[in-house]
Amino acid sequence: MSNTFEPSLYRVIDANLNRLKEGVRVIEDIARYVNNDKALASKLKEIRHQSRIDDLQNLLNSRDSINDVLRPTVTSEMNRDSLESIIIANYKRAQESSRVLEEMYKIVDPALSENFKSLRYALYQLEKENLIIK
């Protein structure tokens, strides 16, 4: 097992780390500023803070957002008609990104892989708690 990624894989890591943190932040801000839900906002903030990788230089060196082949907005991404649809989309974004990070880190750092797996399951649970009809 290698202890570093091939340079091209850092771009996958960078994109998914950003996607994970951005998705969590959207939900966190709705919980905090719209719903005044301190407990949920605090849990999401903790997840966001646990979603970090110390290898910032390699991540930044690999970033090429200008040439991203899927950078233009897809019509389905504009299909939001309520705060609930925004929350759902961002839970899914964060869960999917944490899964990619979990898989990538199986190659070089199983402990980080487990961290992202744990975060993914925490997001599944928070999604259920946050969206269940009461």
In 3D, which of 66, 63, 88, 94 has the Cα closest to residue 76?
A: 88
Mean pLDDT within 80-84: 87
pLDDT tens digits, 39-66: 999 999 999 999 988 887 777 777 667 7
Q: Which residue has the tokens 């979990």?
A: 102
Query: Is residue 84 in some structural domain?
Result: yes
Query: Is residue 31 in some structural domain?
Result: yes
pTM of structure: 0.85
What is the domain extent for residue 21? 7-64+76-131
Distance CA 95, CA 91 (A): 6
Query: Is residue 71 in some structural domain?
Result: no
pLDDT tens digits, 103-121: 999 998 999 999 999 999 9
pLDDT at 90: 97
Query: Is residue 109 in some structural domain?
Result: yes
State how many domains the chain has. Answer: 1
pLDDT of 2 > 60? The answer is: no
Query: Is residue 98 in some structural domain?
Result: yes
